Amino acid sequence: MNRRYRKTIIAGNWKMHKTPSETRQLIDELKPLISKAKWCEVVLCVPYVDIPIALRALKDSPRIAVGAQNMHHEESGAYTGDVSAAMLKDLGVKYVIIGHSERRAYYHETDTLVSRKVHLALRAGLRPIVCVGETLEQRDQGVTLDLITVQVKAALSGVPVEKLRQIVFAYEPIWAIGTGRTATVEQAGEVGASIRATIRKMYGARAARSVTIQYGGSMTASNAHDLLAQLDVDGGLVGGASLKASSFAAIVQAANQ
Ligand code: PEP
């Protein structure tokens, strides 16, 4: 990470875990543990139904923001069961995860859809956390950097430079998500640097150095410090370890050193 140019952001992705009452309980446990985290922003990406209670529980914690895990790719309309960017913004949500590999895999979200969501999120005033990453097969084939370049370019297509800083990228190797198998620091650093190089080619060096690039994939208290020591790993998107106050707080602490 390089705090001189960009924010360090640790985001928890709770996925489909925690009821509203469990949300209140987890946040109450978490707050005192991370109250001293001055050097990084913390985001809790909770299920839609937990958003109101999370916002209420965090009213007195300005450094902990609430994020959503998805949003629809249209502004509004007949999309039963879906949630729009404007609805999230109106509630008080600050971040939204876009293009998580689980959504790409189970809901067939394509790079085109990711791009539409990025534009809508930015227009609504939300900060997108755009997930990119390769399968194990793609890594073995040696196409990781090319594939991620395509994903990054697609997500940024048509995004003006003045909006670029609002976007966070999360490099999430699919083979590392929920598997307990973390990318090596070299792998995370290499892909982070490659994402930044792609942004640099599109927007120039000054704009590129202001973008936060997270790593996600079995990040834990024990590997966070080394991953975050990489120049182009500016935070984490944390799944499993964000579901327990102590393990998430330990990652936040590592980012705060
Ligand atoms: C994720 O879901 O984005 C993630 C990184 O999960 P985990 O930390 O459990 O691998």
Are the CB atoms for 235 and 189 separated by under 8 Å?
A: no
Atom in ligand 1 nearest the alpha carbon of residue 242:
8
pLDDT attached to residue 111: 98
pLDDT-based confidence at residue 257 (cuts at 50, 70, 90): confident
pLDDT-based confidence at residue 35 (cuts at 50, 70, 90): confident
Average pLDDT, stretch 111-129?
98
Average pLDDT, stretch 13-27?
98
pLDDT-based confidence at residue 37 (cuts at 50, 70, 90): confident
CATH superfamily of domain region 8-255: Aldolase class I (3.20.20.70)
Ligand 1 pocket: which of 101, 220, 238, 242 to mutate (most atoms within 8 A of CB): 238
Model-level pTM greater than 0.95? yes
Average pLDDT, stretch 11-21?
98
Domain ranges within the chain, ordered by starting residue:
8-255
Q: pLDDT by residue (tens digit) across 127-150?
A: 999 999 999 999 999 999 999 999
Q: CA 55 to CA 61: how far, in whole Å?
A: 10
Residue whose CA lies nearest to ligand 1 atom number 4: 239
Distance, CA 230 to ligand 1 centroid (Å)? 19
182 CB within 6 A, ligand 1? no
Q: pLDDT by residue (tens digit) across 38-55?
A: 889 999 999 999 999 999
Atom in ligand 1 nearest the alpha carbon of residue 15:
2
Atom in ligand 1 nearest the alpha carbon of residue 180:
10
Ligand 1 pocket: which of 17, 172, 244 to mutate (most atoms within 8 A of CB): 172
Q: pLDDT by residue (tens digit) across 82-107?
A: 999 999 999 999 999 999 999 999 99
Q: Which are the catalytic amino acids?
A: 100, 172
Distance, CA 237 to ligand 1 centroid (Å)? 7
Which residues lie closer than 8 Å to 46 by C-beta, 6 or more apart? Answer: 14, 18, 23, 54, 66, 67, 68, 69
pLDDT-based confidence at residue 114 (cuts at 50, 70, 90): very high
Ligand 1 pocket: which of 218, 220, 242, 248 to mutate (most atoms within 8 A of CB): 218
pLDDT-based confidence at residue 3 (cuts at 50, 70, 90): confident
Average pLDDT, stretch 157-178?
97
pLDDT attached to residue 113: 98
pLDDT attached to residue 120: 98
Least confident of 57-61, 68-72, 176-180, 231-235: 176-180
188 CB within 6 A, ligand 1? no
**At 225, which helix (H) or strand (E)?**
helix 221-228
13 CB within 6 A, ligand 1? yes
Are the CB atoms for 88 and 96 separated by under 8 Å?
A: yes
Write out the two tokens for 10. 């640790």
Higher pLDDT, 2 or 130: 130
216 CB within 6 A, ligand 1? yes
Q: What pairs with residue 41 in β-bridges?
A: 9
Q: CA 212 to CA 33: how far, in whole Å?
A: 24
Q: What is the mean pLDDT of the chain?
A: 97
